[in-house]
Amino acid sequence: MSLTDKKIKELELMANRIRKTSLELVTTAGSGHTAGPLGMADIFTALYFNTLKHDPKNPTWPERDRLILSNGHICPVRYATMYHAGYDITEEELKTLRQIGSRLEGHPNARRIPALETSSGPLGEGLSQACGFALAARMDNMDKNYHIWCLMSDGEHQEGMTWEAAMLAGKYKLKNLTAIVDRNNIQIDGVTEEIMPLEPLRSKYESFGWHVLEINAHDMQDIVNKLEEAKAIQEKPVFIIANTIPGKGVDFMENRFGWHGVPPGSGPEDAFPKDQQFDEALKQLQKREDEILSQME
């Protein structure tokens, strides 16, 4: 699918606004993950504003695509995206992230928000859940009616359950399943390839019977093209390696594992002291928004 220049800019603008909202969410909460939400904003934008079959006014529509968020710790970007897409989340509610009694928990809770398919917390469970959804759709003769999307982290591939699910999906040729891994190469304790190497990741999934694609996760046209290609594959499940930059859009956060699990105000102080981190990050994202707007004139 070739997008017009106008559409690309509209999606880039939305992704940047989702980054700003995600940043505001974790800063207000005083806790939460920053690097992942910023890195995955383009993927979420492409899904919710272009590819995903969904209806914000009817979140339990039977023929909706199912979106499983396995790496639930990046949920601020999902909440922010759903807010901008018109789901039943208000601006005031966004400010309650991680507060006691809030629907916007630190990991998504499907019992609190109808638009969520699953609850997540322990890493490594999402792909197994997604396989269950895909198999259920096949049993109900609905596997041509909707698609299952599973978003995962690279760090959770250190969990054995993930590989059991990968083998199952390959065996049963779950053609209505696409898994997207946030390949940002970091986790809370450091670099993935130093903690527990994952490469050759592509070859591993191919050996289990998956069709594997790779994308530049900050190139909107590439993202949309590969998402559409994934839906067109009819012989096997699809695994998309989304090469992301953690902390994308904020130069002092990018590719820094120190920003994996902390919000502005609690991060490394090598660039800015804690009391300046949010303002400096927001300033950079606002500058990017102004650049996009000027290109749209």
Mean pLDDT of 218-227: 98
Say yes or no to pLDDT of 1 above 80.
no
Strand-pair category, 66-69 with 211-216: unpaired
pTM: 0.97
Confidence of residue 2 (pLDDT cuts 50, 70, 90): confident
Domain of residue 84 covers 5-296
Q: Contact, 186 vs 243, CB < 8 A?
A: no
Residues in the chain: 297
Would residue 43 be called left, alpha or beta, if left means φ above 0 and alpha means ψ between -120 and 50 degrees? Answer: alpha
Question: Percent of the chain beyond pLDDT 70?
Answer: 100
CATH number for 44: 3.40.50.970
Cα 7 from chain centroid (whole Å): 21
Pull the structure tokens for residue 160: 């054995």
Pull the structure tokens for residue 293: 């707007």
pLDDT at residue number 121: 81
Domain count, the chain: 1
Condensed to tens digits (0 to 9), the pLDDT of residues 252-277 reads: 999 999 999 999 999 999 999 999 99
User: How many whole angstroms separate alpha carbon 183 and alpha carbon 205?
Assistant: 14
